[in-house]
Structure 1
């Protein structure tokens, strides 16, 4: 077997648990915080305001009976209230059970029966009905809130009304109760139970500790530190155009708080280019569809211009793209290549401006074609792509700018060991590997071999230590 271990990134021992993060960020004026899109504008929340909000919501959860170790189901999309509620659950000592907003009612009911939560917070009327239909059979479930309740006039929902109800319930609770709960949390305590986004029967939730999620975020920050340090002047910002119900989205959110990066949430599930341009993110976490849209818009612009006599705009565009791809593959080596790159800067500047003009790197949650990866990298926005499984906090290798080559999915994160077994199966171990499957000891035993997690993927490690995938293991 071939074994590869990345250089270790120093752990932050002062983090007892995830709920420490909002408070350490709040101590540094002008750093971190959140923003969310609303009516074509951006609303900003300072780091200390977010920390105060976490305390207020945690007080409400404590007042309504949430005890340490109690599960809280959160069925909500990517919005700043998700972050507020998640950190409040952790601050109260609870265990988060996130559910995708598009989850079917039947799937939500399965998760409720499986985890026996003490509280459920849902975003949609459909999910509220699903909870109500089985509420009587769930002895532990004592509190159910709908995040956006109906308006008094019946014309649509009132944003955050359920959140305000939770806060109101805790008005009489002293904030010190939250502090004591936070101080009792250890990295070994359970933080979240994550169920895979599938309707397949027999699937089980994966159990993650505070230490698992902190280790994954610390490793991510460590690997991206050179890009973080090279960010443009001004407060660093990240636009999260990814689901927070998935482990990768949660790891990114935690990493942003850890690195004191302001996090922006788009007004809707799909961020518009206009929204991105006004937010002007330093780091963009997005889907492949948006990057393809940027490329297609630029090409369509030059196709339209080429209809006029004179300069062959489309040919110039294709030449600039080819050079960016070559530059993205080979880097800045050679004076001729750098001079040629400068000659095509007219296109690269336009592409960067479509995304706000400050993007230092782009991270995709879906595989991006090699040509697009190298194009955006060559245009000055390196594409970061990771590979992982649910059980590894969503990512255990990271590729920056396509450096791991065709079929490569990057190099192991700090503290992670990766090996290819004799049968070609990829196995992993490290601090971000989950603890167990919920209520499934037999499946947990089968998932490991001598302490190594069987990922279900097949592949190999090349001479430089990059993971090369061959496919799933059947």
Structure 2
């Protein structure tokens, strides 16, 4: 095995549960703005919620749960997008020693039924009427469900009113009984290979994750003297979004919530909230880059943008070489060019993010090296990290000031990485989960002598930085016996401005092929520039000009691989893969098996030629 040291503890003795940070902040810094929430009257106006106000509301809601019979150890599901109410409800439940069970708001009836029964959920809070109907349809004789509340019907106010007769001291007694090794959340995996598995994440797992990141990376969250602020638009039903929300409250970071990930909703929210730091996934950074390029092209400034992008990459590469001692940094002429393009191009790009973001984190999957270099050269250094639901978030991250683009960094303090003989990444540390709920066989399969076998493949470079090369289960083996990792090809294809998503196929087939989706906004822009009628992509899957554009992207990608690994055929699909269709995970990664099933006929057609 390749390794990077044995597991070790940070030396921090953690006591109590996750809700304690809300109470401690209210005691020590009562006037600190912990959250900014939309007023409801104006989408661009954010109302401050102080540490004292947040704590008071958490206590009041917690009393409402007690009044409704929710007790220590009970499991309560939260089915909602990323909203202020979710944060209050989660900390209220943790205050009384309950365990939360996040449910993706796009879950099907079958998925909800499985989670409710597998976790024996006692009660559930949903966002709106449609969710309530899904829960009603999912409930059966095996369900332990006794109560349901609805956010859009004012459930927080209802819970507060129902708990008025209880004394605050009851909450403090419950909270004092919560220990770090008790379960805080049962977070379910995406279930792409069978029924979703419930990951048992303890209060100590999440506290360690957040505290380690805050201690080691807190200095990059904002300029000195400025309170850090983060707009959380990641799904809180996923461990990544949940971790971000918990870390903000533990670290005194002003937290905002954004439920809609679409660019037309997210970009105005970033502009009005003005975060100092960004947590996102590669898909978001790709969308921002392509939208900026289309905007420049529409204004007749494509040449300027492309030159600025090239300079940004060169500048960041030069800075990277300097940080490793392999170079002297940017020369005088490159510095001058960079300064010019900063005024003309990069400043506008940063304004899209609210104007204050200078550093960011990308997680969920590896950020393409060229894209990381571009953003760094444009003034936003993106720290790539790696983690899973089973590790309560990041288990590796780029060290501050030592970014190696194209890698996912080194193990964070308290954690370690080994590479098994077959290339699988194994990790260990105090953030690793306690096992899968009701599934000892699956637990034994991944927890091995203190190590967690991630199912991802990768290697450590000479400086101990982890490079992820794909998922073991995603490796394609052609009928000729060639093993092909799909990720590098897919990343190369997504670099083309028209291509939104790509799925490489070819298991037990004579050659590699691809399913490709087109970005609707990029297509409209391209049609306008070509002077063509504005057709929907569903009417253009066989358009010769569009196929020629995609073929050029395929040909470029093929230059990076051997002939046996090259894409011989592709199919343009009539629509993108989406969360709502069940073909993407909450971190916007493709559900490969689900897509292969949904588009089986299209895949077969690629091999009937």
Q: TM-score, normalised by structure 1?
A: 0.89
Q: What pairs with 1:21-420 in structure 2 (closer than 5 Å)?
A: 21-26=21-26, 27-37=28-38, 38=40, 39-40=42-43, 41-133=45-137, 135=139, 137-138=141-142, 140-149=144-153, 161-198=154-191, 200-228=193-221, 231=223, 233-266=225-258, 268-270=260-262, 271-306=265-300, 313-331=301-319, 333-336=329-332, 337-346=334-343, 347-366=345-364, 367-399=366-398, 403-406=403-406, 408-420=407-419
User: What is the CA–CA distance in structure 2 between the aligned matches of 1:102 and 1:112, rounded to whole Å?
Assistant: 15
For the 8 Å contact 2:363–2:386, the answer to whether it is kept is no
For the 8 Å contact 2:318–2:330, the answer to whether it is kept is no
Deviation of 1:260 after TM superposition, in Å, equals: 0.6
Deviation of 1:167 after TM superposition, in Å, equals: 1.6
For the 8 Å contact 1:69–1:93, the answer to whether it is kept is yes
Structure 1 pair 25/369, CA: closer, same or farther in 2 (3 Å)? same
Deviation of 1:232 after TM superposition, in Å, equals: 5.5
Q: Which has the higher contact order (CA 8 A, sep 6+)?
A: 1
- How big is each residue's C-alpha offset from its partner over 1:109-167, in whole Å with a ceiling of 9 and x where there is no partner? 11111111221111232332233345462564222112212xxxxxxxxxxx1222222
Give the paired residue count: 455
For the 8 Å contact 1:370–1:402, the answer to whether it is kept is no
User: What is the CA–CA distance in structure 2 between the aligned matches of 1:253 and 1:145, rounded to whole Å?
Assistant: 22
User: What is the CA–CA distance in structure 2 between the aligned matches of 1:335 and 1:139, rounded to whole Å?
Assistant: 67
User: What is the CA–CA distance in structure 1 between the aligned matches of 2:424 and 2:306, rounded to whole Å?
Assistant: 41
Deviation of 1:297 after TM superposition, in Å, equals: 4.2
Deviation of 1:197 after TM superposition, in Å, equals: 2.2
Deviation of 1:200 after TM superposition, in Å, equals: 4.8
Structure 1 pair 57/110, CA: closer, same or farther in 2 (3 Å)? same
For the 8 Å contact 1:11–1:218, the answer to whether it is kept is no
User: What is the CA–CA distance in structure 1 between the aligned matches of 2:33 and 2:7, rounded to whole Å?
Assistant: 27
For the 8 Å contact 1:147–1:163, the answer to whether it is kept is yes
User: What is the CA–CA distance in structure 1 between the aligned matches of 2:126 and 2:380, rounded to whole Å?
Assistant: 37
For the 8 Å contact 2:395–2:415, the answer to whether it is kept is yes
For the 8 Å contact 1:206–1:390, the answer to whether it is kept is yes
User: What is the CA–CA distance in structure 2 between the aligned matches of 1:442 and 1:142, rounded to whole Å?
Assistant: 30
User: What is the CA–CA distance in structure 1 between the aligned matches of 2:296 and 2:218, rounded to whole Å?
Assistant: 36
- How big is each residue's C-alpha offset from its partner over 1:54-113, in whole Å with a ceiling of 9 and x where there is no partner? 111111111111111111111111011111111111001000100011111111111111
Structure 1 pair 305/97, CA: closer, same or farther in 2 (3 Å)? closer
Deviation of 1:14 after TM superposition, in Å, equals: 5.7
For the 8 Å contact 1:69–1:94, the answer to whether it is kept is yes
For the 8 Å contact 1:109–1:131, the answer to whether it is kept is yes
Q: Judge which range, 108-117 or 266-275, deviates more.
A: 266-275
Coordinate RMSD, CA, aligned: 2.4
Deviation of 1:426 after TM superposition, in Å, equals: 1.1
User: What is the CA–CA distance in structure 1 between the aligned matches of 2:372 and 2:96, rounded to whole Å?
Assistant: 42
User: What is the CA–CA distance in structure 1 between the aligned matches of 2:134 and 2:266, rounded to whole Å?
Assistant: 32
Runs of at least 5 residues in structure 1 that lack an aligned partner in the other structure = 150-160, 307-312
Structure 1 pair 460/181, CA: closer, same or farther in 2 (3 Å)? same
Please tell me whether Structure 1 or Structure 2 has the larger radius of gyration of its CA atoms: 2
Runs of at least 5 residues in structure 2 that lack an aligned partner in the other structure = 323-328, 474-609
For the 8 Å contact 2:396–2:408, the answer to whether it is kept is yes
User: What is the CA–CA distance in structure 1 between the aligned matches of 2:132 and 2:192, rounded to whole Å?
Assistant: 19
